Amino acid sequence: DAGVIQSPRHEVTEMGQEVTLRCKPISGHNSLFWYRQTMMRGLELLIYFNNNVPIDDSGMPEDRFSAKMPNASFSTLKIQPSEPRDSAVYFCASSPRGGAGQPQHFGDGTRLSIL
Amino acid sequence: GQQLNQSPQSMFIQEGEDVSMNCTSSSIFNTWLWYKQDPGEGPVLLIALYKAGELTSNGRLTAQFGITRKDSFLNISASIPSDVGIYFCAGQLNSGYSTLTFGKGTMLLVSP
């Protein structure tokens, strides 16, 4: 079975550029989560969707970050304009349904470096 | 907000030794999860615990859900070099759309 698929695996770009991260959740999973991982702050939840609808985006750092889920099999996380402090590993995770003890399954992440 | 304190931050052990790590919370959770992250990969679920007092094993791994619902531990017996990685605990409430709260992780290094 295919797991959560993220692309690209690595992204290096200059500050001010737009960055788009992509995620394909596990087929049949109704909930999708975007996380950011840094050494200082660990794993932080940015936003999550249930049935393609954003449920909680309180973790999104600022207006430069936006996320969409146009259908059940695809989501994007966009940063515009990007800044060096956005450098981190961004993970997407999915679960069969939100909450209720449903474990989340993670992709392998996108390592983002903003120069 | 909820916070998880995970300890130790890191461990360096010899192959064959047993390992124990734990998480404590300032508030209760109804589900505890343990994940392992290898370098360059995403966290992989090891064990999920759903009931206070529950003790669950997965091969050489054993985890328990504390009675108070504010703590959990993970034990690894007879460690091997491939156990190297970062281990995360995560707590989850089961009310509606509840999300995971992660600990900061325990980095485990195993010397052959």
Chain A residues whose CB is inside 8 A of the B35 CB are: 106
pLDDT digits (tens, 9 = 90+) for B5-40: 999 999 999 999 999 999 999 889 989 999 999 988
Interface membership of B56 toward A (CB under 8 Å): no
What is the reported pLDDT for B98? Answer: 67
Among A14, A9, A6, residue whose Cα is nearest residue A84: A14
Can you tell me the distance from the alpha carbon of B102 to that of A41, in angstroms, rounded to the nearest whole number?
Answer: 10
Contact A56 B42 (CB under 8 A): no
DSSP chain B: ---EEEE-SEEEEETT--EEEEEEESS--SEEEEEEE-TTS--EEEEEE-STT-EEEETTEEEEE-TTSSEEEEEE-S--GGG-EEEEEEEE--SSS--EEE---EEEEEE-
pLDDT digits (tens, 9 = 90+) for A69-103: 999 999 999 999 999 999 999 999 999 865 556 78
Q: Over chain B, what is the mean pLDDT?
A: 92
Contact A99 B30 (CB under 8 A): no
Residue B2 has pLDDT above 80, yes or no: no
Contact A99 B99 (CB under 8 A): yes
Looking at chain B, which residue has its C-alpha nearest residue A48?
Answer: B99
Residue B66 has pLDDT above 80, yes or no: yes
- Confidence category of residue A41, pLDDT binned at 50, 70, 90: confident
Looking at chain A, which residue has its C-alpha nearest residue B43?
Answer: A106
Interface membership of A70 toward B (CB under 8 Å): no
Interface membership of A84 toward B (CB under 8 Å): no
Q: Which residue in B50, B89, B98 has the most chain A C-beta atoms within 10 A of its own C-beta, making it the best mutation to test that interface? A: B98
